[in-house]
Amino acid sequence: MSEEIKVIRIEDVPHFVGQTVKIGVWLRQKRGSGKIAFLQLRDGTGFMQGVVVSADVDEALFKLAEHLKQESSFYVTGEIHEDSRSSFGYEMAVSAIDMVGESEGYPITPKEHGTDFLFDQRHLYLRHQKPYATLKIRDEIIRGIYDFFYQDGFLKFDSPILTDSAPEGTTELFPVDYFDQTAYLSQTGQLYVEAGAMAFGKVYDFGPTFRAEKSSTRRHLTEFWMIDAEMAWMHQEQSLDVQERMIAYLIQRVVDNCQTELEMLGRDADKLRSYTKLPFPRVSYDDAVKLLQDNDFDIKWGVDFGSPEETFLANYYKTPFFVVNFPKAIKAFYMKRHPTRDDVVISADLMAPEGYGEIIGGSERDTDYDYLKQRLIDQHLDLKEYDWYLDLRKYGSVPHSGFGLGLERFIRFVAGEDHIRETIPFPRTLNRLHP
Ligand code: 4AD
């Protein structure tokens, strides 16, 4: 009686050297000499090469292999060999192919394609190596986020997506008909996690957030995933400590668990590892402006940094760094007043190295009912929509701090991607809602 052939996945191939196995695969590419067909295969867990040698197999199988089309799907059977010449380390000597799905005229051919074309074909382009590597890193980071917060004693606290508030300003809102009123897609879950922190101590949310950004840049999406963390009884310094430990932990996880993917993307793991050294430098906004002015930037105190300013500072620090205590006038209403200055707030932005820009925004939150009420009025926000938020200051207000990490901004930096649209399966930008 013949032994049943095991069906495995490419990621398990190293355990089956010398054995005959069967794998469900798609054909990425193929080349051949008339005597040998080299099949580049993938199955979602990895990539490998199958070799069909005409002298070793019957004529029908060799013909079938030679006529396979890009992205057709089939079961491939054969013996696994180690192969140091192959970039994947292993090869299969193919002895059978069982067709499953034909593929005719697959649009993404091995030639170079423009970015717009590839994003029009995003549903198919996801199968290719670059998006594959980036989205595997995304998955590792997402799992790392849950693990980090769990180990650090935070409760996962889900904020709503449909809201009636605009904590980060009213110019970038997506309105939605909500029965007889207008709702907005959430810009940040922050106000809700503040309520959560008063109930559970340390909480975080993690979900999609939306900003109707009219700017088309390498770092803006209209739909992106944010982690809002909020900690009761914590001042800003303790929040910065959580932030830098989280960033170092996530980078280390990717370096440890995504070596193949980093290699595929040409991202230097040693360089990434160098960014896990703590503490990250803290520079005040005042000193950052002075540093820029001393280096011929035409920047006045009071304005936000643009990309050239952030890139200069990143090249100066060569590691993630915090810019702390921004001007009050350019920051959100909830940020805590500085104890001795009226023009700055206790805030911090974490900047990524190499010019990838801001990845975290956060602050200590003001705890005073009357002050916050006045800030809402000054910013022309509707007090009725914030009554519950003000209640948090009425009933046992305590010092608390928090921050928001933009998931795709962080992935862009870790994966070394030129554009943020590469970091999410189906990006939403000013010009893209399809597919
Ligand atoms: O700095 P932001 O606006 O801060 C907040 O929303 C706070 N309420 C967060 C908090 O304290 N809980 O946004 C936080 C982060 C930014 O640092 C950036 O990484 C990301 O969200 N972000 C974007 N990412 C992609 N596309 C956009 N349009 C983004 N806008 C902000």
415: burial class by Cβ within 10 Å (0-12, 13-18, 19+)?
Answer: buried
Contact 372, 334 (CB under 8 A): yes
CA of 64 to the centre of ligand 1 (A): 52
What is the mean predicted confidence (pLDDT) over 231-250? 98
The answer on pLDDT for 1 being more than 60 is no
- The reply to whether ligand 1 has any atom less than 6 angstroms from the CB of 211 is yes
| CA angle 40–43–48, rounded 5-degree value | 35
- How does the average pLDDT of the chain come out, rounded? 96
- The reply to whether ligand 1 has any atom less than 6 angstroms from the CB of 190 is yes
Domains defined along the chain, listed by start: 6-101 (2.40.50.140), 122-423 (3.30.930.10)
Percent of the chain with pLDDT over 70: 100
Helix 407-415 × helix 129-151 angle, to 10°: 120
The pair of structure tokens assigned to 110 is: 């091995």
Does this complex have an ipTM over 0.95?
yes
Give the pLDDT confidence score for residue 169 in this predicted structure: 80
Per-residue pLDDT tens digits for 136-167: 999 999 999 999 999 999 999 999 999 998 88
Q: What Cα–Cα distance (Å) separates residue 118 from each residue in 23, 124, 130, 221?
A: 28, 9, 12, 17
- The reply to whether ligand 1 has any atom less than 6 angstroms from the CB of 46 is no
Q: Which amino acid is at 420?
A: I
Give the pLDDT confidence score for residue 89 in this predicted structure: 87
The answer on pLDDT for 78 being more than 70 is yes
Distance of alpha carbon 399 from alpha carbon 324, whole angstroms: 18
Per-residue pLDDT tens digits for 318-367: 999 999 999 999 999 999 999 999 999 999 999 999 999 999 999 999 99
Give the confidence band of 86 by pLDDT, cuts at 50, 70, 90. confident
CA of 94 to the centre of ligand 1 (A): 50
Helix 129-151 × helix 236-257 angle, to 10°: 140
CA of 361 to the centre of ligand 1 (A): 6
Give the confidence band of 33 by pLDDT, cuts at 50, 70, 90. confident
- The reply to whether ligand 1 has any atom less than 6 angstroms from the CB of 357 is no
Distance of alpha carbon 362 from alpha carbon 34, whole angstroms: 62
Q: Tell me phi and psi for residue 73, to 5 degrees.
A: -120, 145
What is the mean predicted confidence (pLDDT) over 239-255? 98
The answer on pLDDT for 400 being more than 80 is yes
Give the pLDDT confidence score for residue 385 in this predicted structure: 92
Task: Give a three-class secondary structure readout of 336-381.
Answer: CECCCCCCEECEEEEEEHHHCEEEEEEEEECCCHHHHHHHHHHCCC
Give the pLDDT confidence score for residue 166 in this predicted structure: 83
Distance of alpha carbon 416 from alpha carbon 316, whole angstroms: 19
Percent of the chain with pLDDT over 90: 94
pTM above 0.90, yes or no: yes
Where would I find the H helices in 126-179?
129-151
CA of 403 to the centre of ligand 1 (A): 9
CA of 178 to the centre of ligand 1 (A): 25
Residue that has been written with the tokens 């991202």 in this structure: 267
Distance of alpha carbon 130 from alpha carbon 122, whole angstroms: 12
Give the confidence band of 2 by pLDDT, cuts at 50, 70, 90. low
Give the pLDDT confidence score for residue 392 in this predicted structure: 98
Distance of alpha carbon 72 from alpha carbon 39, whole angstroms: 11
Q: Which of 410, 413, 355, 398 is nearest to 243 (CA)?
A: 410
- The reply to whether ligand 1 has any atom less than 6 angstroms from the CB of 406 is yes
